[in-house]
Amino acid sequence: MSHGYEDDVTVRQCWDALSGSEDAFLIDVRTGAEWNYVGFPLVSGAASPLFIEWLTFPTMTVNAAFAEQVSAEVLRRGGSKQSKLYFLCRSGVRSIAGAIAATQAGFEHSYNVLDGFEGPADTDGHRGNIAGWKAAGLPWVQK
C-alpha cells in the first residue's frame, strides 16, 4: 500500500472482481455532468455503481463529505470496511484521490482503476478509444 491505497487495477481486473464478488463496489467519482453527458459503467446487481463526486460540479471543489458518503452508501448496500472498493474517474486521476480518502477513512481494500472510464486522449483529442472502460468494450450507457 505504498500509494496510500491498496493498489491499481486495470478495468478488466475491476470488471472481474465486480462480477465475481458480492462484496465489491464500483465507485464512480466523476461529476454529475459527466455521468449525464458522457455515460457511465453498467454493472448489474449488488455491484451497480455508486455515484459520488470527488470534485463537486460546477465549482470543481473537493467534496468535503466524500468519505462519509462512501461509507454511508457502502454500508447501506451491506458492505463493510473490509469490502473491496474500486474507484473510477475519467482517466484514473481523481480516482486515486478517492481511493486514498477511503483508505484514510478505514476501508482496507481501496483500488484505483487505471485509465478510468475514458482513458487518455487519442491523436485527435478524443477519449474512449485508447484505454479505459469504454475502449475495453465493457458495458456502459449514455443518457
In a domain, 21, yes or no: yes
Domain contains 66: yes
Q: Which domain holds residue 22?
A: 7-137
What is the CATH number for 126?
A: 3.40.250.10
d(CA 133, CA 94): 15
Strand partners, 68: none
Phi, psi at 73, each rounded to 5° = -70, -40
pLDDT tens digits for the chain (143 residues)? 568 999 999 999 999 999 988 899 999 999 999 999 999 999 876 668 999 999 999 999 999 999 999 999 999 999 999 999 999 999 888 999 999 999 999 999 999 999 999 999 999 999 999 999 999 999 999 87
User: Does residue 94 fall inside a structural domain?
Assistant: yes
CA-CA-CA-CA torsion sign (42, 124, 114, 107): negative
